[in-house]
Amino acid sequence: MGGQAFAHIVADKPIDIPRLSPDTYQQVAADVKLKLETLFHHVTIPRDAPEKIDFGDIDFLVEGIRDPKTDSNIWISVKEVLGAELFVSPHHFGIKHPSITNAYVQVDVELSPGIGAELFEWTNFMKSDSDLLQIVGVVHRSLGITCTDKGMHVRVEEVEPYNRKKSMLFLTRDPNQAMEFYGYDKAKYHQGFDSEAEMFDWATNGRYFYWKVYEDRDETSNDRTRLNKRPMFRRFVHEYMPSCGKGTISHTQTENSDPDAEKAIPSRQDVLQEALRMFDKHEEYNAIILEHRTKGVEEALWLQINNSIPSQNAARGTILKGLKRWVAFINGRPYITERPIATSMKLKWSEHVPDDAIPDLLAWIAENRDQIGELEEFRASEARKAGMKN
């Protein structure tokens, strides 16, 4: 929150949350850490970005509540143990500044998701060095690699368009294994970065980073939000990448060198196969593909059908129901039935429509959807009348 958690509190005079010098920051952090350790098994401060000269707040990550009796009111217990005079739910605390009268230090305490040291260490890795892992995620996103609060995943390309959650194949939540997969210098990471440029160099010198892959990525709304709200991410995109030519040039290389020239362009399939090999995930991958072939193909087809009907069409829901109740196939060609199809006889459209026939199917639906919607609306109306009589 950068020391802004209490800015909205109405008081006789503004609440003073001065930025902290490194010495004051370390002094307060050490004291708070000891107090939090009386409540939690694991307590840490995710590593700050390099070259930071002062601090707006102190961010703690905690895990493992020691006393189950405090579980339901853990934030009240934190407030009490810290002696916090200010509290904004759920985890922003204001404690007295050690050397400035009538001033406070903002302490944020985040409870790690899940249970156990493994997930705690992964969360610490994700939150360390400010926007570093967000940058890593963006430059590798088009290759199907995704890091979430649960761990590193590779997205199965066939499944992702219709069900992103099911497409996620879990690989690891061990930071060292993740860095090894990316091809990053683990020793350098653990040593820490002396400058932001050095950190950016590290992020763009993994084995899968390639300028063209980064350049061709699809910009998402989340990327645009990061550009507006995350200064480090903005500097990486607008200053570091253009100034480094093709993005993998470190400050020890010449400006005219072209690292991409000596690297094979990675493909999403290459990344997937290496992930399956390195993490021995063939069985899990095969299960995802099997479900895709038995259920997912049908979901994907209906997603295309759904998207083909304008969202502003008021009868959209009725049309979709009608398609399943009034349409059958002869030799792969759709037609409107004379009577509604019973739910027990529901057809699996993907068994009748090959991929190369989908454009023709969508065109047929566009031509006949109004009639199908009217049939379904009439059927539903008659069913309601019959229900009222009974």
Dihedral angle of Cα 193, 197, 200, 204, to the nearest 10 degrees: -110
Say yes or no: 257 and 382 in one domain: no
Say yes or no: 78 and 157 in one domain: no
Q: Which residues pair with 314 in a beta bridge?
A: none
Supply the pLDDT for residue 255: 46
Q: What CATH number does the domain containing 90 carry?
A: 3.30.460
Say yes or no: 356 and 275 in one domain: no
Q: Model's pTM, two decimal places?
A: 0.78
Which residue has better confidence, 215 or 85? 85
Percentage of the chain beyond pLDDT 70 is 91
Q: How far apart are CA 312 and CA 378, in angstroms?
A: 21
Model confidence at 284, pLDDT cuts 50, 70, 90, reads very high
Supply the pLDDT for residue 213: 67
Supply the pLDDT for residue 22: 94
Query: Side-chain half-sphere of 250: how many Cα atoms within 13 Å?
Result: 11
Residue 310 reports pLDDT greater than 70: yes
Amino acid code (one letter) for 233? F
Say yes or no: 138 and 276 in one domain: yes
Which region, left, alpha or beta, applies to residue 64 given φ > 0 means left and ψ of -120 to 50 means alpha?
left
Say yes or no: 198 and 163 in one domain: yes
Say yes or no: 239 and 174 in one domain: yes
Lowest mean pLDDT: which of 208-222, 255-269, 365-379? Answer: 255-269
Residue 39 near residue 74, CB atoms below 8 Å:
yes
How far from chain centre, in Å, is Cα 118?
19
Q: How far apart are CA 196 and CA 193, in angstroms?
A: 7
Say yes or no: 61 and 112 in one domain: yes
Supply the pLDDT for residue 206: 92
Could you tell me which of 118, 257, 139, 135 has the C-alpha nearest to residue 208? 139
* Token digits of residue 210: 């390639």
Q: How far apart are CA 149 and CA 379, in angstroms?
A: 47
Supply the pLDDT for residue 216: 65
The chain-wide mean pLDDT, for the chain, equals 88
Q: Burial level of 379, CB count in 10 A (0-12/13-18/19+)?
A: middle
Residue ending a domain, among 99, 119, 139, is 119
Residue 335 reports pLDDT greater than 70: yes
Average pLDDT value for residue range 279-303: 93
Supply the pLDDT for residue 389: 61
Which residue has better confidence, 252 or 353? 353
Say yes or no: 110 and 141 in one domain: no
Say yes or no: 277 and 314 in one domain: no
In a domain, 304, yes or no: no
Q: ∠ CA(234), CA(185), CA(282), 5° rounding?
A: 95
Average pLDDT value for residue range 363-368: 96
What total number of domains does the chain contain? Answer: 3
How far from chain centre, in Å, is Cα 212?
23
- The domain in which residue 358 lies consists of 309-389
Residue keyed to tokens 């969508």 = 362
Average pLDDT value for residue range 137-142: 90
Could you tell me which of 179, 199, 87, 81 has the C-alpha nearest to residue 125? 179
Amino acid code (one letter) for 174? D
User: pLDDT tens for residues 45-84?
Assistant: 999 999 889 999 999 999 999 988 877 789 999 999 999 9
